[in-house]
Every structure is written in structure tokens, then in C-alpha cells.
Amino acid sequence: MQELRRRSAGPHTGDVRGRRALLGLATLVVLATGCRGASDAKTKQVVHAAPSVKKGRLVLVGGRLGADQKAVYDAILRGRAGSGPVCVLPTASGAPTSAMEDAQAALDHSGGAGTATTIFLADEDAVRATDPQIVREIERCSGFFFTSGRALRLASLLAPGGDTTLALRAILDRYRRGAVVAATGEAVSALGRIMIAGGTSQSAFADGVTDVGDADGLFLSPGLGLFEHAILDTRLFARGRVGRLLVAVLATDSLPVGLGLDEQTALVVDGDDAQVVGRSGVVVLDARKAVKDGPYFGRGVRASLLGAGDRIDLRTLTVSVGAGKHSLSGRGAFPRIRDPFGPWGFLHAVSGLAASPRTAAQFTAQGVRLQIRESDGFSAASADTTGVAGEPAGLSAGPFLVDLLPVGR
């Protein structure tokens, strides 16, 4: 059972364990329930998974990473292995030239001139992913930074048709030898073994999950497999994506755990330990014990909100609240929320539970019903300052239970 409280009072716990298989040498078959284009309710997908060996650091950024976010850039630079540059790969971007220039300038601003360089690997030069010369360029990198863009573009170029290119093999080799791998925005999703490649919360509610790129619904596809613990999503509060992540974890039997990162926020992963850095938060969704109501809906998804300074053990989902936070009083007024699936709506709902006497809230929006309620051991804490969207900075809250149901149930 999870229990969120101050570090001195003990953590909250669960027991998720990632499956591991050798990337490029073996594949892991996972089941995504109810995908369009499938001959039955379960569609097989071949998904690469990261090797079970010592690895470097992952820095997963939820988007809108500004040059002034020193803590995030410091986390990247401290994860370097060797004396080479951090290599920027604008592969996911539809405007790779400007993306690489911005990222390189920001890294140089943080670490000094020459900190970063660029390996130009984009759609218009995709053949480079299979060129032996690319290996020599990658081998000198102390780390890698994937710019934002489209997750599917990144995965398709580095692993077309599920095949591991020379470029991906070289990046994974450097990662296994300790190099940091950072990504921001939608590129983060591609680093998981199951990737959210497209779709909105509303399309997920209306049409469910699909494994066909041009179909309606939430598009799930094999990712690159560097992060095996959960399905990853980004810009979670800012773009109202919690609904689609809920559908993803409820629909995917083999990986029913999700991590949703908001903008200007990073999850810094060292082995099985991860820490939240930045201005907003990370939501953990655990549907392993949820009661399903059809292929995409269910009751009792266990959830927590993590703020800056909080840590999570990715094997067990144990959360430790960062030092220096104070308990919220529970005396405030619950906010008026029109759509919990719209921008900032879910954050306001969780914050409202944390700061008001209410212990549950129910909403009807976008053709579905959402209920969130405090679970046993619920507690909340925050810093004394104001964070994103007017909510307390570093807000930690949980555990709470989430029900996602069609209207009328």
C-alpha cells in the first residue's frame, strides 16, 4: 500500500517491477488491449526493452525546458560520462535546425562554451542512422539530448520497423557505459518501451486505443525501451493529457503503470531511483489492481502527485517527500473546475482535495465521469511559495484513487 507523508514519517509503497530484455538482441511481446486494426481484443506489439546492466542517467523533461532552468541542466551535466560533449539530436523535431541550435546554446550557457555539439540525424538525412561514420561520432559523446517534436518520428528513424540501427546501437552502448540520455517534450515518450505516439484525452475516451497511426483514438506504439518501468507522457497538466494516460494504463495489461510529467519539470532517473526537479509535478498512475470496466475504463487506479524534491523507487513505487515542505491544512475552499481533463484541471482537482476538507470529488466532462478520492494514509505537503497555475510549489499529494467511467456508470 502506498502512503504519502514526510520523509521522517515514512514512504508510501507499491510493488511494480519492470521486465527486461536485451535491446537489439531480443524482443519483448506486450499486449495492448482493444487496439483498432486488431483481430481480437489484444493486439501483439514487439517492443524493445533496455538491457539489464548498469546504465547511465536518464533526464526526462516534460517540455518547455528554458535556458534558465539551471537545476535540470545541472542534472544533465552531472550525468556525463567522459570528457566529450553532450550531443544534441534534433531527430524528433519537424524543424531540426532551429531545435538543435536552441538546445546547444542552452547547454553551452549552463556548462560553458563547447559543452554541447550536434549530431544532425533527421528525416531528410535518415540514411545516416545506418552509416558506420555515425558510430564514430556517437562514441565521443559524454551524453545525449533529444529535442522535442514527435515521438513516432524519433522511434521510426532510430528503429525503423523495430530494427535497431547502427546509430541506436551506438547510443545504447554509450548509455550502458554510463552516458546520460536526456529528452524533452514528446521525445520522452519514445524512450519508453510502450510509446504514446498520438491522440488526445478526448479521442482516447471516444475511440479507445489503436495501433494504427492514422486511425482515431489513442495511438500506442513500440518505443525504444530505455525506460521500462512505465508508460511515459509529457505536458500532462499544461495540455490536459491525464485522461489519455489513464486510458493507456487501463488498456495495457503488460505495463499498467504511467508517469505523467508536466512542462518545466524533469524526472532524473539513476537506476531504479528517480527524483523530481523543476517547477511543476509528476503524476504516478498504478492500474495493476484497478477493476476494469470495459477495455479503457476502470475503478481504483492508485495515484500520487510528486513535486520538486520528491523521490520515487521505480521498482516499488515507494515515494519519499522532499525535505522542507509543510503539511497542508485542509481548510481551504475546493475550487470550481469545469473540465478536469483540460489544461491544469487535474492539478487543480488534486490540489483542491489536498487543501480543502473534502475527501472526494466527481466530475463529468468530455463524455466520461471522473472521480478522485483520498485513499488510506492520504497526506499532502508543499513549499511556502506559489508554483505553476497558482498552486502551491512542490505540491506532493497521495495516495488517492481514480475512477474513469463512461457517463451513466
Q: Determine the pLDDT at residue 104.
A: 97
User: 87-125: per-residue pLDDT in tens?
Assistant: 999 999 999 999 999 999 999 999 999 999 999 998 888
pLDDT at 15: 35
User: What local confidence, expressed as pLDDT, does residue 6 receive?
Assistant: 29
Tens-place pLDDT, residues 265-291: 999 999 999 999 999 999 999 999 999
What is the structure's pLDDT at 5? 29
Query: pLDDT tens digits, residue range 130-173?
Result: 999 999 999 999 999 999 999 999 999 999 999 999 999 999 99
Q: Is 323 left (phi over 0), alpha (psi -120 to 50) or beta?
A: beta
Fold type of domain 7-320: Rossmann fold (3.40.50)
- Give me the amino acid identity at 390: G
Domain ranges (residues) in the chain: 7-320, 331-406
Q: For position 409, what pLDDT does the model report?
A: 73
pLDDT at position 35 over 60? no
What value does the mean pLDDT take over residues 74-99? Answer: 97
pLDDT at 279: 96
Does the model's pTM come out above 0.85? yes
Give Cα 208 to chain centroid, integer Å.
20
Confidence of residue 22 (pLDDT cuts 50, 70, 90): very low
For range 188-196, the mean pLDDT: 97
Q: Is the pLDDT of residue 83 over 50?
A: yes
**Banded pLDDT at 331 (limits 50, 70, 90):** confident
- Taking residues 252-275, what's their average pLDDT? 98
**What number of residues does the chain have?**
409
pLDDT at position 54 is 59
